[in-house]
Structure formats: structure tokens, C-alpha cells
Amino acid sequence: MGLSFQVKTIFITLFLFSTSAFAAGDAHADPVAPVLLALIVILAVAKIGGEIFERLGQPAVLGELLGGVVLGNLILLNPAWNFFEPLRAHVMQENWAVVIDSLARVGVIILLFEVGLESTVQGMMKVGASSLLVALLGIVAPFFLGFGVSWFFIKELPAELAAAVPADFSLNYVHMFVGAVLCATSVGITARVFKDLGQLQKPEAQIILGAAVIDDVLGLIILAVISGIIAAASAGQALEVGALLRLIGTAFLFLAGALGLGVWLVPKLMHQLGKLRTGGVMLISALLLAFALSYLANKVGLAAIIGAFAAGLILEEKHFHHFREKLHLEQWLKPLATFFVPIFFVLMGIQVRLETFANLSVLGVAAGLTIAAIIGKQICGLGVLEKGYDRLTVGVGMIPRGEVGLIFAGIGKSLNVINDAMFSAIVIMVIVTTLITPPVLKITLARGNQKHSKSKPGQAGTNRLPRG
């Protein structure tokens, strides 16, 4: 190869870069070019951030989020570094930003679909009394603590919301929304942390995973109900109980209907689709179900991700046993998730405005929320009915809020219930709850394992393997 070849290559490389100003007119000015550039930066930052945080023993998602925070806030270092401002608009204006925003939204749909795939409808039904009780305690306690923190710090409506709603719009709706944000448990992060620690088969892990799934569904319903209440109140129909009941009914009926479809129609449909000869039928069938339920959920007034999650619950690996393809659905989905999901987390980071952190009261709210989020989930431990299990580990394992908290906060932002300052406080809460979980969990697990090995040697839980 030799030096002269290397010198030649460097020369050619430099020449190529120097000719980038040349460009033969706008003949080939492909509208996808700025999208590609944004994807290159976002995906590279996601991987660099993920790598750094994995090496620090933290979940990769945290690195993606913080990488996004750095990208979005470069403008604070130099006003000319405003490349990502189009991605921070309330409604995207530039075409490439519209595309990236949509890719991020498809990303979170694919993520919730994957999370849903971890469980089955039957598995949900069989979930132990402990999981249910842990989930309920893990929703009730953080909701009221979050409400209390919001009541303590927020004394007036966010400006944009106040301009849009009737004068009698109650501040309690804002407190309820903040409470709802604290209810979320991130099953993705929880499972990922347990997997990273090699502790997925512990009974405590199984209880947490079951509870996290129930939490997800209940949390999404709470979100739908509260969003519906706020939307109704904004339109000046605040206390119309009929609309509220219809909304709750719609949420339950959508899930019940989707799950009913799952038990009855999907196996038949998949049996027919399995006869197709063309390639990639398994992936496209699964995506079409996820997209269709996401679209339908959105149409009935729920968040699109509820539909994606329901689609994941419905679909089971056994529906695909007779398909010609040898790969499992999980293996088909993983590359799509690897591409799409980090776009969502980096974009969430980009949309964090660090200048709001300069406000001391934001840090106060963030501290209050974080304490409420942690204490609220510690009460979960009381829901463990079996003896000999480590209640502290269950409480700690329920702490991470992750993507679900961010999604709730994002919806709150789009409803104007959450202003920039509260959004920043919630992001700090998400970052802190996600950051403290792995080290604390290591400690409680080590402690619990010592106790465990004395009392119940060889106990190993089930073989269900959640997504990594």
C-alpha cells in the first residue's frame, strides 16, 4: 500500500471536499440531502452518547438523550451554531425538520410496539396479584405526590394555556397532568437495566416487569383521561361527566376491542398471511398491525403509542410459526428499532432548552419532582405479597421514568399544560431517575442476594426473556 498511496488518497479526499463548492448547478439538489445530514449527526451522536454511558455502566438511552441536549444547546455557545433550531419549533416549518420529526414519531411507535411484544394478552391476565398491587401503588402514590409538588410550585396557569382557555379553567388540571407524568414506569429502561446486570430471572425482576406493563396501560389511560378533561375544559365544557365517561369508555373499549381482535382475528389473519410467498411478509404484517392500531388509537382520541403497544400485546411469536421466514419477528424489528428509536430520544434531548435551567425555580421544581418520583415508587414495595423477596429492589426497579415520562411531557407541551420550564424540570427528573437506578439497583440487588442465598437458595423465577 505504501506511503505514496496514502498521500494520494488524502489528496483525493481533500479534493473531493474542496469540490463540494463546485456542484453542477442545482441539477441534483436532492431534497433528501438535508435529511441525510441531520440523520448522520443524530445517529452518530446517539451512538457516541450511548457508548459513553454504557461504558459508565449507565443505560444507552441516557447518552442519546444527553447527546441531544448538547446538540440542541450548541446555540448557547455560539449563536451561529443554530443548525438544530428548526427541530425545536413548536410546529416544524422546514421540510427536513418535518421529516426528522416524523421519523422520531415512527421511532416511538416502533419502541412501544416492541415493548408490547414482550408480553402476551394471556401473560397479562395471569400476572400475579403482586404485580397488580405494585402497579396500583406505583400509580396512586406518585400521582398525589406529583399533584402536591405542582400545587406547591405552580401558582398560575402557563401563559399560552391561559390565553386559550376560559377564565374558570382550574389550575388543578395542570397539577393532575404533572401527577400523571410521575405515574409512568419505563418498562424498556427497567428491563434493559436488569438485563445489563444479568438479573432478569430474579422474581423481583418478574414482578417489576409485570407491574411496569400494567403501569404502562393504566398510565396511558390516565393520560388519555386527563388530556381529555383538559381538552374539554379548554373548550369550556369542563365538568361534563358524560364526555369523561365516554372518553374512559372509549379508552377501555379501544383496548378491549384491540385485545378481543387479538385473541380472535389476528391468529386467523396471520394464518392467511403466512401463505403468502413474497418476501418480508412477517415484518410488513406486524408493522401494518402496529401502524393501523396506532392510527385508530389516534382517531379515537388516544395517543398513537397506545395502539402500537396494544398491537405488540396482541401479536405473539406463535402466530408466525408457519411463516416461511426463519428469522423471528424480534430479529426483523430490531434493525428498524436500531435506526428509528434513537432519533426519538436525541430529538427529545434537542428540544430541552438549557436556558430554562438558569431559572432557579426550575431547579426547585425539578428537585421536588425527582424526590416525589423516587419516594412515590418506593411505596410500591409494600405491594409485594410474597415473603422473602426484596421490597427495596422492587421499589428501586420501578423508579426509571424514561421514554414514557418524556412522551407524557411532550403531550403536555403540545396541550400547553406543560410550559418550557416545567418540561425542563420533567426532563431533569427523567434524567436523574434513569441515572440513579443502575448504581442503586446494583447495591440493593447485592444486599438482596445475600439475604436470598440464606433463605431461598436456587430460586430462579421463570424463563420469560424480556427485550434487551
What's the one-letter identity of residue 260?
A: G
Q: 244 or 385: whose CB is closer to its own copies?
A: 244
Determine phi and psi for 360, rounding to 5 degrees: -60, -35
* Closest listed residue to residue 212, CA positions, set 283, 309, 293: 309
For 263, the enclosing helix (H) or strand (E) is: helix 241-273
Q: 277 or 454: whose CB is closer to its own copies?
A: 277
| Site track 410-449 with its own copies (rule: CB under 8 A), x = hit | -x---x----------------------------------
Q: In this chain, which stretch among 117-125, 277-285, 313-321, 433-441 interacts with its own copies, using CB under 8 A?
A: 277-285
Determine phi and psi for 91, rounding to 5 degrees: -120, 125
| DSSP state letter for 33 | H
> In angstroms, what is the minimal distance from the CB of 151 to its own copies?
23
Q: Do 353 and 88 form a contact (C-beta atoms < 8 A)?
A: yes
What's the one-letter identity of residue 268?
A: K
| Site track 331-350 with its own copies (rule: CB under 8 A), x = hit | xxxxxx-xx-----------
The dihedral formed by the CA atoms of 296, 301, 302 and 308, expressed in degrees to the nearest 10: 10
Question: Could you give the CA distance from residue 292 to residue 381 in angstroms, rounded to a whole number?
Answer: 37
Q: Which of residues 1-40 bind its own copies (CB under 8 A)?
A: 1, 5-6, 8-9, 12-13, 15-16, 19-20, 22-33, 35-37, 39-40
The CB density around residue 338, as the number of other CB atoms within 10 Å, is 13
Q: Which of residues 56-95 bind its own copies (CB under 8 A)?
A: 60, 63, 92, 95
| DSSP state letter for 390 | -
Q: 143 or 177: whose CB is closer to its own copies?
A: 177
Binding of its own copies at residue 288 (CB under 8 A)? yes
Q: 232 or 440: whose CB is closer to its own copies?
A: 232
Q: Which of 121, 149, 304, 404 binds its own copies (CB under 8 A)?
A: 304
Residue 214: which residues within 8 A CB-CB, separation 6 or more?
124, 127, 131, 132, 135, 136
Q: Which of residues 169-228 bind its own copies (CB under 8 A)?
A: 224, 227-228
> In angstroms, what is the minimal distance from the CB of 436 to its own copies?
21
Q: Which of 132, 140, 171, 261 binds its own copies (CB under 8 A)?
A: 261
Residues in the interface with its own copies (CB under 8 A) total 104
Q: 227 or 393: whose CB is closer to its own copies?
A: 227
Burial 116-145 (b: 16+ CB within 10 A, else e): bbbbbbebeeebbebbbbbbbbbbebbbeb
> In angstroms, what is the minimal distance from the CB of 24 to its own copies?
4
Binding of its own copies at residue 278 (CB under 8 A)? yes
